[in-house]
Amino acid sequence: MAVRIGALAGWDDDNFCERSLWHCLYFDDICGCTLRRLRSNKMGSSECLQREDWTVCTRCETYRPPRAHHCRICKRCIRRMDHHCPWINNCVGEQNQKYFIQFLVYVGALAAYAIILVVVSWVVECPECSSEISVKQSRILHCVILVLESALFGMFVSAILVDQFQAIFSDETAVEQVQHQGPFRPHKPKLALLTEVCGRGHPVFWLLPCAGVSHRVDEPLLSHDV
């Protein structure tokens, strides 16, 4: 499960802002410098949407929505970018933050499970285990390494998980915190902010990687269904 979630978080490239030719920009002759986009929906009709708060990236020249930032590693603009994670070799943003949180939870659970197994192996006697000194020494060494590794990974993912929830509840990504671009947004309830990341389904299913995001990457930031 942890491997599957890690793959979803690392391979998801829907955070990229589109740079297709059909993202057409033009100036409104009546309102002046009002940016608009013309797109066709599934029925074939055209819809003109105002994008006054959209900007053009000076690095990749991408027409990007609010809260999108340019990643110098991916060389693309990422929607609601939090940070570039070398652990998953991908940016954590609007589309895969849910998977990233799930990945942290499951890795932390695996670390706790490994520590519990070590404790149980020492508390419960094993009549079938060898009583040779070399075997006991190797077992002790293996248990010590496993506990240290699990404890380090557990503390690491716990710290990142706390940081992710703080960013969600404050409605301010790590990039926005550095650039001081978050506090001007209106206050939202914590459940609503968490729903924007995890989806509108029941909270019980938020930790299950059984469904992907459903909103289009060419639309403004909207919450998605589980």
pLDDT at 37 over 50: no
Separation CA 73–CA 89 (nearest Å): 10
Sign of the torsion angle spanned by Cα atoms 96, 100, 102, 107:
positive
Structure tokens at 52: 């006054």
SS3 track for 94-125: CCCHHHHHHHHHHHHHHHHHHHHHHHHHHHCC
pLDDT at residue 118, rounded to an integer? 92
pLDDT tens column, 139-167? 889 999 999 999 999 999 999 999 999 98
**13-17, 22-26, 186-190: segment of lowest average pLDDT:** 22-26
pLDDT at residue 148, rounded to an integer? 95
Residue 213's pLDDT band, with cuts at 50, 70 and 90, is: low
pLDDT, greater one: 155 or 205: 155
pLDDT tens column, 40-95? 444 343 334 445 678 888 888 888 888 888 998 888 899 888 889 888 888 998 88
Active site residue 85: yes
Catalytic residue among 85, 91, 129, 198: 85
Residue for token digits 């033009």?
26
- What are the residue ranges spanned by the domains of the chain? 2-14+94-207
* Distance, C-alpha 132 to centroid of its chain: 48
Residue for token digits 């909103």?
215
pTM tops 0.75: no
Q: Is 44 helix (H, G, I), strand (E, B) or coil?
A: coil
Torsion angle in degrees (nearest 10) through CA of 63, 64, 69, 73? -50
pLDDT, greater one: 60 or 213: 60
pLDDT at residue 190, rounded to an integer? 87
